[in-house]
Amino acid sequence: MATKDNIIFALDADSLAKATPYIEALAPYVGMFKVGLELLTAQGAPAVIHHIHRLGGQVFFDGKFDDIPNTVGAASRVVSGMGVKMFNVHASSGMDSIKAAAENKGKSQLLVVTVLTSTSDEESKRIFGAEPHDKVIQFAHDAKAAGADGIICSPQELELLTQIPDLKDLLKVTPGIRPEWAEANDQKRILTPSQAMKMGATHLVIGRPISNPPRGIGSPIDAAKKILEEILNC
């Protein structure tokens, strides 16, 4: 059954001062706060993680590690030691780097980034030599073989992933979630929260629809409640 734990709020801010009102307001309504490169670069990982924990939130550390195995393993050991709930590594860093992250993930959950939701079919073919759904399936198999807990993928790959028995138990974390009342912005491959959950998503990453909802929806709290109600009823 869906709960607030299925919702990850993308905490896109360049300072803790700007992030704090969202953490305080949304902690009762979302399962985790995704902290990405902007906030981590501006404030530093230890300060950000400690601050969110102090305010009662869980952390998805969206550092997207993409480096040689030794570096990825060392970084994974450090971030898992900070008590984050989730962190991630790019599939394109290779199997050895994913394995190094898995060996050092501690009690944290390791996710593997497959194909970014901002990547079009044409761009995916240019970068990877294949369309997104083919690369996502390949990267998902790599993630499981390397010992990761789950993957990050477009919601449009969910249905296909759930049809593959070997991949059924992987966590499936999906950005590119846009309620019907929200704008698509720069996401190319999107679904609504209820559609994504029905297709097998375990976690929904949602940012601007909550942080900057249309005027008719109300506040970020109102938006989060509306999304939670949607997935509870799907």
Question: What's the pLDDT tens digit per position in 121-155?
Answer: 899 899 998 998 999 999 999 999 999 999 999 88
Burial status of residue 153 (CB atoms within 10 A of its CB: 0-12, 13-18, 19 or more)? buried
Task: Report the CATH number that the domain containing residue 21 is assigned in CATH.
Answer: 3.20.20.70
Q: For residue 109, what are the β-bridge partners?
A: 86
CB 148 within 8 A of CB 185: no
The total number of structural domains that make up the chain: 1
Residues with catalytic roles: 64
Q: How confident is the model at residue 189 (pLDDT cuts 50, 70, 90)?
A: low
The set of long-range contacts for 87-91, using a CB threshold of 8 Å and a minimum separation of 24, is: 87/60, 87/61, 87/62, 87/63, 87/111, 88/61, 88/62, 88/63, 88/64, 88/112, 88/113, 88/152, 89/64, 89/65, 89/113, 89/148, 90/64, 90/65, 90/66, 91/139, 91/142, 91/143, 91/151
Q: Which residues span the domain enclosing 222?
A: 4-232
- Residue 39 banded pLDDT, cuts 50, 70, 90: very high
Average the pLDDT over 87-93 and give the result. 97
| Whole-angstrom Cα Rg for the chain | 17
Tell me the C-alpha to C-alpha distance, in Å, between residue 136 and each of 74, 143, 155. Answer: 26, 10, 11
What whole-number distance in Å separates Cα of residue 211 and Cα of residue 223? 8
**Dihedral, CA atoms, 9, 14, 17, 20, nearest 10 degrees?**
10
The pTM for the full model equals 0.92
Give the DSSP letter of residue 83: T
